[in-house]
């Protein structure tokens, strides 16, 4: 889905809640890799909410573990993964909507703070991945 694309934002709607969660990856996604953490200071995860909960922006705290790229033989069940379970999209049926395998841990080792108040696994209603493109302004 995102192989080779850098500067992407994942935006996902959590099923059964009013939460929109996501994350930004400035590095190219690499589906051909062996499992490994990717280092960056520029990644972040977020949660946008309605009602009594405040929205959350959580920046990288430990840049060595900002992103996790899964082994190529299991990438068909994993989507983007930020930190070590800080925000992970997982689905055996590959669309994240049916099996409640996505999660965000409530302890945040690699990002400043957790983006959800529960460790309970969830499904995604829908998600989009956007590529951020820096606009070039011509010099006159």
Q: What is the distance between the alpha carbons of residues 94 and 58, in angstroms, rounded to a whole number?
A: 27
Q: Is the pTM of this model over 0.85?
A: yes
> Which of left, alpha, beta for 99 (phi over 0: left; psi -120 to 50: alpha)?
alpha
Residue 13 confidence (pLDDT) = 96
In this structure, the dihedral spanned by the alpha carbons of residues 110, 35, 120 and 48, taken in order and rounded to 10 degrees, is 60
Residue 33 confidence (pLDDT) = 65
Report phi then psi at 117, rounded to 5: -95, 0
pLDDT in tens, the chain (140 residues): 567 789 999 999 999 999 999 999 999 987 776 778 999 999 999 999 876 668 999 999 999 999 998 887 887 888 889 998 899 999 998 688 889 999 999 887 899 999 999 989 999 999 999 999 988 888 87
């Amino acid at each position: 889905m995102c192989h080779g694309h850098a500067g992407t934002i994942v935006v996902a709607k959590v099923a059964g809640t009013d939460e929109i969660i996501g994350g930004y990856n400035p590095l190219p996604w690499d589906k051909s890799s062996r499992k490994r953490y990717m280092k960056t200071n520029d990644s972040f995860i977020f949660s946008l909410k309605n009602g009594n909960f405040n929205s959350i922006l959580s920046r990288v705290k430990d840049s060595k573990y900002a992103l996790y790229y899964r082994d190529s033989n299991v990438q068909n069940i994993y989507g983007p993964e930020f930190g070590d379970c800080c925000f992970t999209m997982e689905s055996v049926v590959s669309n994240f909507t049916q099996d409640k395998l996505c999660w965000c841990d409530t302890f945040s080792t690699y990002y400043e703070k957790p983006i959800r108040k529960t460790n309970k696994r969830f499904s995604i209603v829908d998600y989009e991945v956007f590529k951020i493109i820096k606009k070039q302004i011509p010099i006159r």
